[in-house]
Amino acid sequence: MAAEKRDYYEVLGVAREAAADDIRKAYRQAALKHHPDRNPGDASAEAKFKEATEAYSVLSDNDKRAQYDRFGHAGLGAGFDFSSAGVGDILSQFQEMFSDFFGGFGGPGFGGGRQREQRRSRGSDVRVLAELTLADALMGGKHEAVIRGSAPCETCAGSGAKAGTKPEVCVQCRGSGQVTAQRGFIMFTTTCNRCGGRGSVVKEPCADCSGHGAVERERKVLVSFPAGIETGHRLRVPGQGMPGPKGTPSGDLYVDVEIAPHERFERHGDDLGTRVEIPFTEAALGTEVEVTLPNDNTLTAEIPAGTQPGSVVTVRGKGMPRLDRSGRGDLHVVVTVTIPKRLSKRAKQLIEELDAELGDDARRASG
């Protein structure tokens, strides 16, 4: 004897006067908790998932809910027992509802990879890593990204059929890729097992792609990188991912950016830092030094008289271009003062004279 069905409101844990939004939220929580993909091999979770889905199919329909509120389960007639249906059939029948709930047919991790593959409406996205130099990031420009993956077979133009032939319409689904069967008062739509959901059958496959319509190939995509881009940024190139099935749009290409270290410059956000060495005489008297940027452009940095070792001279607006707003960051020049290790007699005499000339005031000022 079949077990007596529980009250639908009790199944979803809502009051009989619950609003439609409350019923919807309660079912979403129950479906997420008990979905078989989250509880593989758990018969109890699968039964609860079916029970909650059956309850929602009634309480989300105003007419069915009114009949149920008035007459209970008997008011729905013999109906269809969800407990006897396969999970795949339920997901197929209610694909729009699950898409609305979970952001795709069954959502990520729901409904099985084969079903998602059969129903996807575009090609897969592709993600690659692009390593740029600091000069590339400073100037911006176009660079090639290499992608290896499926591409339409040129021999058969993506049809999968041998030259001179073409795919034939599947006689089982009549080209729709799906077949419909009735169980009780519910019509279930499933993928055609003869053509695998393609809607056509290749009797004489193309020798180059073995009937798949696509081959593995390496291709290059020209990607525009904006000036100022840095490690961690990701660019999206629409339509440059994998080709979609049966002529549907291609996926997108996502390019993750990594900036290679530079031997002379460090980057800190929009600012650049570098070091220059000058003799102690120029540090005392002041001077100008030329700095060659990563893009080989040169600029002049003014070193004021009396510059101490480790001092930082900032050149405004000569750093990296700003992505989020106009202008550029700054260039910070760390000054290293070199002290000669060997002195000629004349040089030693001159330093001694300088020391005497500066006297105690200079020594006090230095430390």
3-state secondary structure 165-218: CCCEECCCCCCCCEEEEEECCEEEEEECCCCCCCCEECCCECCCCCCCCEEEEE
pLDDT of 119: 43
pLDDT of 363: 57
pLDDT of 355: 83
pLDDT of 322: 93
Phi, psi of 293 (to 5 degrees): -75, 165
pLDDT of 118: 41
Q: Radius of gyration (Cα) for the chain, nearest Å?
A: 36
Virtual torsion, Cα 103, 104, 109, 113, nearest 10 deg: -170
pLDDT of 257: 94
Q: What is the C-alpha to C-alpha distance for residues 362 and 348, in angstroms, rounded to an integer?
A: 18
Q: Which CA distances in Å does 29 have to 13, 25, 62, 102, 364?
A: 10, 6, 21, 11, 76
Q: What is the C-alpha to C-alpha distance for residues 357 and 351, in angstroms, rounded to an integer?
A: 10
pLDDT of 89: 55
Check pLDDT > 60 for residue 92: no
pTM: 0.53
Higher-scoring residue by pLDDT: 109, 75: 75
Check pLDDT > 80 for residue 186: no
Phi, psi of 66 (to 5 degrees): -65, -45
Check pLDDT > 80 for residue 87: no
Q: Can you list the domains of the chain with their CATH numbers? A: 8-119 (1.10.287.110), 126-155+214-259 (2.60.260.20), 266-366 (2.60.260.20)
Q: Which CA distances in Å does 312 have to 274, 278, 284, 337?
A: 10, 13, 15, 12
Per-residue tokens: 154: 């040129």
* pLDDT cut 70: percent of the chain above it: 81
| Mean pLDDT across the chain | 82
∠ Cα 174 177 178 (to 5°): 95
Give 19-54 pLDDT, tens digit per residue: 998 998 898 888 888 877 777 778 888 888 888 888
Q: Averaged over 108-114, what is the pLDDT?
A: 41
